[in-house]
Structure 1
Amino acid sequence: MNRSDPLVSVVVSARGNGGRLRNLLNALAAQTLPADQMEVVIVDNDRPGPRRPIAQLINGGVWPYTVRLFQEPEPGLSAGRNRGICAARGRYIAITDPDITPDPGWLAALLAAAQEEQVFCVGGRSIVDYPDGSALPLNEPLRECHGAVNWPTQRTPADWPYWVTGCNLLFERQAALEIGLFRTDLGRKGRWLGDCEDLEFVDRARQNGLNILIEPAALVTHPVYWPETTARYFLRQGAGHGVCVARMHLSVRVEPAAIRADREAILDAAVGLVMSWGFLDQGRAVQSFRDLTRIAAYHGERARLRLLGRRPSLPSSTVRPPQGVAS
């Protein structure tokens, strides 16, 4: 790390949601962390084409910190983030999304926790906001599809029942390059509602002996809009989640609480479906259908992977930086 390098690089991958970047950049300009200690690395993951709206937005703005723009032709949230991490110059990487609004003390709180506790990774608290309302009455299991609902009141090891989210995460760059970056077969990719890229990354780090912490003082707000509260969305999200949890077995030991696909879980979903019809509980009905979809997708993907000869394993590292990129 050179003296001129920033302390932290904020990495943002944008695909189809670049129009919300300006709000994020303005919020980053209001951070209590001095601007000369940070840079923002934006990865344009949009489809190839002559028009690059993300580049136009950045070129038209003035911010107190350095903004660097890169393109990643491979579609997918994980591919975009990996490109940004490899290009970043900071000792620490802070991951977030274009539509996130961080509190002014966000970066300072993440950095303080990482340095004071001497841990590899710190996850902050994310508050989900529904600016358009919701299409369904959202019970806690459905709201958890949009992010963690329950958070500790003080710094706490990131272990069940708490988990970190990819829109509010800080970690040491060099250590991440050594254990491997985000798996590109996990996470969102176009219309595919994959996930678990952040969960797998953190689990893999922990299983390689690194410490993970939750700092609830590092706060961001995450908006969820009407289309992401419909029954169709939750069924698609359940299918994607089931597939991704099944794929996690290839690189980490998956916590049983993260799987929930045994006979008891199937029975609970079936009972919930019957109870929801009896009491006309639309939210519980969608939750039960989603659970059955998730469980079917999980077992279907595990069967597919077995047919391909891909058995569960726990290598020391599963995702390396692209060739030609220096660490």
Structure 2
Amino acid sequence: MSDSDVPLVSVVVSARGNTQNIRSLLNALAKQTLPAGQMEAVVVDNDLPGPVRPIADAVGDGDWPFPVRVLYEPTPGLSAGRNRGICAARGQYVAITDPDITPDPGWLQALVTAIEEETVFAVGGRTDLEYPGGQVTTLTKALRECHGAVDWPERREFAEWPYWVTGCNLLFERQTALDIGLFRTDLGRRGRWMGDCEDLEFVDRARQHGHQTLIEPTALASHPVYRPETTLRYFLRQGVGHGVCVARMHLSVMVEPAAIQASREDMHAAFIGLAAGWTFLDRSRAVEAARDLARISAYHFERGRLRLLGRRPIALAQQPPKKESPAWT
């Protein structure tokens, strides 16, 4: 293969049970202002094993102006699927996204321009959430943040608190990612398990190695939020998954204290919020408090489990063992 055949950007998408969206995503990629000759799409089939591969069928009969490859990853999990695609990608840069994302035509070009102008490791774009029937008006900000970032800078900013990147809208240097390690497979969604934080841990770990990540708000993409994702059941499951994954993040990165919020005071505030929401029939406030109780409980349970397994957090592994400090919460 000649150098001229190597794409600049490989768009990696891992799909499981959402085959119908793959063609829509590829059609949106075909409308990108980045020349088609500078990109390729790597679709990872992470569906259940079986003789029928609907993802390959959906992609195989399409006619797109860039190469499209379909790979199969039998290990379930979003991180496992993305890692498979990253390893097989041929581009200098890798852009990861999801099947149901709708990127603006200038999405890829904005990401590439930012990473080359600022000489950073990664660039995350702005992802706008689209709620069914205006449901966003009934949700608190904390509940909306369960679906993705809500606050975005007006101009380029480093991906540091209170801003963070989303895994469905992220571009990074492939070789550097291979050097520091790809997404942790014990984080992120896996089947019905609603894990997350794989993208945050990935970016934080890169920062610990001296590689910065930037947010480019002009790299726009939209992400639909489905009605089942606005229910109490969803938020409780999401809270448990988030609490477990934040506890696991401690094993490899220093977690921002504002992202933990699992102290006794936070637990007390959640109980008060639950009582107030129930008393005053404020459903969103009650759901937020219930989700916080589930998240905090899961966080401390997972911390205890990891401690019993002898897996010490990175903050304590670098110093002699000492008595547990409340600063960890």
> Is the pair's TM-score, using the shorter chain for normalization, greater than 0.5?
yes
AA in 1 matched with 2:78: L
1:318 aligned residue: none
Give the alignment of 1:163-312 within 5 angstroms.
163-312=164-313
- In the TM superposition, residue 263 of structure 1 has moved relative to its aligned partner by 1.3
1:116 aligned residue: 117
Superimposed CA distance per residue, residues 154-177 of structure 1 (whole angstroms, 9 cap, x where no aligned partner): 000110000000000000000000
Superimposed CA distance per residue, residues 252-284 of structure 1 (whole angstroms, 9 cap, x where no aligned partner): 111101111011211221121122122210001
Distance between the aligned counterparts of 1:18 and 1:151, measured in 2?
30
Distance between the aligned counterparts of 1:221 and 1:235, measured in 2?
24
Distance between the aligned counterparts of 2:107 and 2:136, measured in 1?
31
AA in 2 matched with 1:171: F
Distance between the aligned counterparts of 1:248 and 1:115, measured in 2?
29
AA in 2 matched with 1:195: D
Distance between the aligned counterparts of 2:135 and 2:160, measured in 1?
30
Secondary structure of the equivalent of 2:199? helix
Distance between the aligned counterparts of 1:75 and 1:10, measured in 2?
20
Contact 1:136 1:231 in 2 (8 A): no
- In the TM superposition, residue 134 of structure 1 has moved relative to its aligned partner by 4.0
AA in 2 matched with 1:305: L
Contact 1:90 1:173 in 2 (8 A): yes
Superimposed CA distance per residue, residues 111-141 of structure 1 (whole angstroms, 9 cap, x where no aligned partner): 0000000000000000000135549921111
Distance between the aligned counterparts of 2:136 and 2:231, measured in 1?
5
1:35 aligned residue: 36
Distance between the aligned counterparts of 2:136 and 2:35, measured in 1?
41
Secondary structure of the equivalent of 2:138? coil
Contact 2:136 2:144 in 1 (8 A): no
AA in 1 matched with 2:173: E
Superimposed CA distance per residue, residues 25-49 of structure 1 (whole angstroms, 9 cap, x where no aligned partner): 1100000000000000000000010
Secondary structure of the equivalent of 2:132? coil
Superimposed CA distance per residue, residues 163-216 of structure 1 (whole angstroms, 9 cap, x where no aligned partner): 000000000000000000000000000000000000000000011110110000
Segments of structure 2 that go 5 or more residues without pairing to the other structure are 318-329
- In the TM superposition, residue 230 of structure 1 has moved relative to its aligned partner by 0.5
Contact 1:136 1:283 in 2 (8 A): no
Identity of aligned residues (%): 70
What is the RMSD of the two structures over their aligned residues, measured on CA atoms? Answer: 1.4
Superimposed CA distance per residue, residues 225-265 of structure 1 (whole angstroms, 9 cap, x where no aligned partner): 11111000000000000000000011111110111101121
Distance between the aligned counterparts of 2:226 and 2:267, measured in 1?
29
Secondary structure of the equivalent of 2:168? coil
Give the alignment of 1:81-120 within 5 angstroms.
81-120=82-121
1:158 correspondence with 2:152: no
Distance between the aligned counterparts of 1:131 and 1:260, measured in 2?
29
Secondary structure of the equivalent of 2:4? coil
AA in 2 matched with 1:289: A
Superimposed CA distance per residue, residues 273-318 of structure 1 (whole angstroms, 9 cap, x where no aligned partner): 1221222100010000000000000000000000011111379xxx
Distance between the aligned counterparts of 2:24 and 2:51, measured in 1?
25
Instruction: Report the TM-score, using the length of structure 2 for normalisation.
Output: 0.94
Distance between the aligned counterparts of 1:268 and 1:295, measured in 2?
11
Contact 1:134 1:225 in 2 (8 A): no
Distance between the aligned counterparts of 1:205 and 1:137, measured in 2?
36
Distance between the aligned counterparts of 1:22 and 1:134, measured in 2?
27
AA in 1 matched with 2:52: R
Distance between the aligned counterparts of 1:32 and 1:268, measured in 2?
48
